[in-house]
Amino acid sequence: MKTQVEKQEKNVVKLSIEVPAQEAVDAYNRAVQRISQHINIAGFRRGKAPRPIVEQNVGKERIKYEALESMLPRIFQEVIKENNYDIVTQPSVDSYEFNIGEDLKISATVELRPEVKLGEYKGMTIKVESEKIPEDAFDKALESMKKQAVTTEIVVDRASNETDFVTFDFDGYVDGEAIKNGSGKNYTLDIANSSFIPGFAEQLVGHTTGEEFEINVTFPENYHEEKLAGAPAVFKIKLHEIKQKIEPELNDEFAKKVGPFETLDDLKADIQKYLENTRANKNKEKADEAIFEKVLENTELEIPDSMIERECDHLLDEYKQKLAMQGFTYEQALQQYGEDSIMDQLKEDAVKRIKNSLVIDKIASEEKITVQAEDMEAKLAKMQAAYQMDKTSLMKQLSQNPGFLSSLSQQVINEKVSNFLAENNTVEFTD
């Protein structure tokens, strides 16, 4: 077999392959035999029809295609091994000339893993702006705990106000027609923290238990359901119950109720510790990101367009799935953001993801960072704890998704490379 290789731009190689005529004929004859065993030809038992009869019934081109398909895996494997190629995808056939009695000529394209030229990636000193704890963070955290400990009591001697919880029935109408999924029974709403249409919650204020009334609102112009976008609507309300919030006092009893604390001072110390830990974790994240960004900046590589296109397709599928989980369609996203904007962002994300992956793999290769059995055991143990599953059940679920273990292995490599970079570079935090 003769092979000519022609390197093109962006790590793409053009292959011109010639397979000896006899080898091609042998593959053709084997294809005839295979096909004859799976078709019915009048006057012949399966597998016994002579070659001319099989050719007459199925056509020579189909036989050639079958022969070529059977030969390609071995042919490509030999070419890849001979040239020591690190391929991204299997080679694709661009064209072929298959004439019986002549050498088989195949023109194919193979995409190689982009060459990564690492620059400086260890021994660097990088300045990072230190994370600051907002001045009001402590007060907000304490206030949040107070809100979580709020209790309620039914009110019967006054109208609702803007801080109450109210329970009510509602039926919505646009132009006199009932809104699909626009009704509810015994719905409870925190008036001060409503996610309803703007203006809805405010009109629940000032009404008494048992009262029936109407609310007039207008759907936002960018509402996700096109038929309702910008439309005026009427909601018929029947108010069943009003509850007022009872906020706890900040004292030792409050501390005992919200956690394993003896005094309010113990609770405050725990909040401060939490804020400091959060600050430290964010500083580590910022340091890791800054180091890796610098590594990327020092790295040279050229990514094939086809590789970016495949990653874009993958990201687009992920994007559509996320939209569906949020109750939106891709068509709605196109209307809101425009196709160019979405695709530009996906391409940017694709390039970043590919570049990150290639650089991580290159550093792992250079530093001989590998996944050990104990690494996977530790990762699986974390998953068991997170999902509260025993090891047998977890492994049974993982076995149903073979690609997941590969993904888990890549996560381990990513973490080990990140730790290596953190240990081998210096970060100076600035105010």
| Domain ranges, ordered by start, for the chain | 2-111, 151-246, 264-430
For position 136, what pLDDT does the model report?
A: 95
Contact of 215 with 235, CB cutoff 8 Å: yes
Q: Which numeric CATH code is attached to 151-246?
A: 3.10.50.40
Question: What is the C-alpha to C-alpha distance for residues 376 and 412, in angstroms, rounded to an integer?
Answer: 8
**65-96: b (≥16 Cβ within 10 Å) or e:** ebbbeebbeebbeebbeeeebeebeebeeeeb
For position 431, what pLDDT does the model report?
A: 85
Instruction: Give pLDDT tens digits for 175-192.
Output: 999 999 899 999 999 999
pLDDT category, 347, cuts 50, 70, 90?
Answer: very high
Contact of 173 with 179, CB cutoff 8 Å: yes
DSSP classification of residue 262: S
Query: CATH number of 264-430: 2.40.30.110, 2.60.120.620, 3.40.50.300, 1.10.3120.10?
Result: 1.10.3120.10
Instruction: Give pLDDT tens digits for 105-161.
Output: 999 999 888 889 999 999 999 999 999 999 999 999 999 999 889 999 999 999 999
CATH entry 3.30.70.1050 includes domain 2-111: yes
Instruction: Give pLDDT tens digits for 376-422.
Output: 888 888 888 888 888 788 777 777 776 777 888 899 999 999 999 99
Percentage of the residues of the chain whose pLDDT score is greater than 70: 100
Are 151-246 and 264-430 in the same CATH fold? no
Instruction: Give pLDDT tens digits for 276-322.
Output: 999 999 999 999 999 999 999 999 998 888 889 999 999 999 999 99
Question: What is the C-alpha to C-alpha distance for residues 14 and 37, in angstroms, rounded to an integer?
Answer: 36
For position 226, what pLDDT does the model report?
A: 87
Residue 376 belongs to what H/E stretch? Answer: helix 373-387
Per the listing, tokens 């990514």 go with: 303
